[in-house]
A = this chain, B = another copy of it.
């Protein structure tokens, strides 16, 4: 029996018992929906993921995409899986009916996503990049552009990419140098030239066309590019132009990754003259939204993409945990420390406390992480379709605060879960004959893309903790306190509530202390530690919510409920205390790393 991708009962517990997505059906946008339609969508996702995505996960790792200088070849199983995904309408699961969508809440859409990524992160990425691209255009493109580019993407006939980084501009997007020159005689049309790096799904033959969303700079009257982010605009640059002519986009090479190998990752050269649309060099592109608003428009996508990264990390951790659990139940090895008789039968390794430690840690990480991601998705629903302007604004603020954590925490701790899944398997887990080593390699990507771990630390402490006069942190604190106050009334959870309350108070004090530093470089010196500490407290809060839902909704003798409470206990006994030394370090405005000099290394 193949290990489960996810624990369906847990997913439904989160959606129905905890986040109460059924109540979303009361909103006009979701009026046709109900628990039945949500569950039917989950059934569809689980089946397609199991039947068409999971079976080639290993194969597409072993036979990664090849570039022969002309064409990129991808194993045929990838296209078959993605075609089935599109045919089921899943490219447009959360879109308006008018666009052919199902108008599912984003929370439910993310739960569907979870199945595909758990089954095959690399193949699923082609779809999710396309959805992200479409959502970006829906926010800022003209209606003609939506008709022309978004519709075929939502039908799954065309795929999409995001072209941000360049070889000299990765984390520092303000330094991009791709140029977009107005195309004489064609209003709104530009000719782009420049090199884009790390373009996932940048080239393949899985779809009829590829819609590249490209950040580039339009030169000023003096022919120079405007330094900084203000000069950045957003363009649609399709692989094939209307009429089928090939645009001037050339694949310079594929990057060969440690994991996530099934997704092509490309260096693309725009406008180098490899193709000559309209008889001359230069990639033809179309401005999206207003000039100079490119980064702002792209950030719509990036925030969504960041929840997607966190979710991918969470579910890779989740499926690894289920693999390890199955293995630990089946593999006999050793006896209890106090057992003296060597002729007694060996125990399944789950009988060893240290193996249960590794499983319980995985459970705490992956269910905490998945909960965080679904909670964030629910905030997107509230921001978009909440009943009142206040609810929508509040959800937006929480989402802004949580986004760097939702991206980073699962990327860090569900990688650790994957490492523990290997460890539970012993030597077997280190071999490619088993699945867990691939999850570990695949998951290592998630701390790097869509903003590195360190960048999100700067985002959280340098931006989210201070904008709107600290309103985001304040709103977040109100939510934490509301949970604390309710949990204090629940016998089994009162001590956890006190611990969470104390930890959050400490975060507020520490944030203030950091902004009391003599300069911004010192305030931000240890921003990554801040990200990690706040992240741990946030996940403790997520766990307390899950535990409350378990206590409120499930019978006392239910093993599932007991597991939730035990994982919550694990998080409070084993994990939350780890933030104390981190917060001590931050409160002391430690300058060890700031003082370190290049020459001393």
- Residue-wise, chain A 408-445 has the 8 Å CB interface mask toward B (1 for contact) of 00000000000100110011011111000100110011
Question: B566, A346: Cβ atoms under 8 Å?
Answer: no
Question: A598 — which chain B residues lie within 8 A by C-beta?
Answer: 329, 350-351
Q: How far is the CA of A519 from the CA of B353 in the complex (A)?
A: 14
Question: A593 — which chain B residues lie within 8 A by C-beta?
Answer: 353-354, 356-357, 360, 570
Question: B354, A527: Cβ atoms under 8 Å?
Answer: yes
Question: B452, A426: Cβ atoms under 8 Å?
Answer: yes
Q: Does residue A301 face the partner (Cβ distance < 8 Å to B)?
A: no
Question: B573, A427: Cβ atoms under 8 Å?
Answer: no
Chain B proximity of A532: nearest CB distance (Å): 12
Chain B proximity of A233: nearest CB distance (Å): 16
Among B169, B333, B520, B566, point to the contact of A595 (Cβ < 8 A). Answer: B566
Q: How far is the CA of A24 from the CA of B341 in the complex (A)?
A: 47
Q: How far is the CA of A228 from the CA of B340 in the complex (A)?
A: 9
Chain B proximity of A384: nearest CB distance (Å): 32
Q: Does residue A388 face the partner (Cβ distance < 8 Å to B)?
A: no
Question: B433, A255: Cβ atoms under 8 Å?
Answer: yes
Question: A453 — which chain B residues lie within 8 A by C-beta?
Answer: 423
- Knowing A363-B601, A426-B170, A581-B580, say if A256 contacts B432 (CB, 8 Å): yes
Among B165, B170, B353, point to the contact of A524 (Cβ < 8 A). Answer: B353
Q: How far is the CA of A525 from the CA of B562 in the complex (A)?
A: 20
* Stretch in A12-20, A78-86, A269-277, A584-592 with 4+ CB within 8 Å of B: A584-592
Question: A569, B592: Cβ atoms under 8 Å?
Answer: yes
Q: Does residue A258 face the partner (Cβ distance < 8 Å to B)?
A: yes
- Residue-wise, chain A 285-300 has the 8 Å CB interface mask toward B (1 for contact) of 0000000000000000
Among B172, B334, B574, B584, point to the contact of A171 (Cβ < 8 A). Answer: B334
Question: A170 — which chain B residues lie within 8 A by C-beta?
Answer: 333, 426-427
Q: Does residue A534 face the partner (Cβ distance < 8 Å to B)?
A: no
Chain B proximity of A201: nearest CB distance (Å): 15
Q: How far is the CA of A165 from the CA of B333 in the complex (A)?
A: 12
Chain B proximity of A593: nearest CB distance (Å): 4
Chain B proximity of A423: nearest CB distance (Å): 6
Chain B proximity of A514: nearest CB distance (Å): 13
Q: Does residue A123 face the partner (Cβ distance < 8 Å to B)?
A: no
- Candidate in A354, A422, A601 with the most chain B CB atoms within 10 angstroms: A601
Question: A562, B597: Cβ atoms under 8 Å?
Answer: yes
Among B228, B255, B573, point to the contact of A342 (Cβ < 8 A). Answer: B228
- Candidate in A430, A595, A599 with the most chain B CB atoms within 10 angstroms: A430
Chain B proximity of A226: nearest CB distance (Å): 9
- Knowing A578-B581, A585-B577, say if A360 contacts B596 (CB, 8 Å): yes
Question: A448, B430: Cβ atoms under 8 Å?
Answer: yes
Q: How far is the CA of A452 from the CA of B423 in the complex (A)?
A: 8
Q: Does residue A462 face the partner (Cβ distance < 8 Å to B)?
A: yes
Closest 10 CB pairs of A and B: A228-B342, A577-B581, A563-B600, A227-B343, A357-B593, A354-B454, A258-B437, A227-B342, A172-B334, A353-B525
Give 23 CB contacts A-B under 8 Å: A165-B427, A169-B333, A170-B333, A227-B341, A227-B342, A227-B343, A255-B431, A354-B528, A355-B454, A356-B596, A360-B601, A423-B452, A426-B448, A427-B449, A429-B448, A559-B599, A563-B600, A563-B601, A569-B592, A570-B592, A574-B585, A577-B581, A581-B581
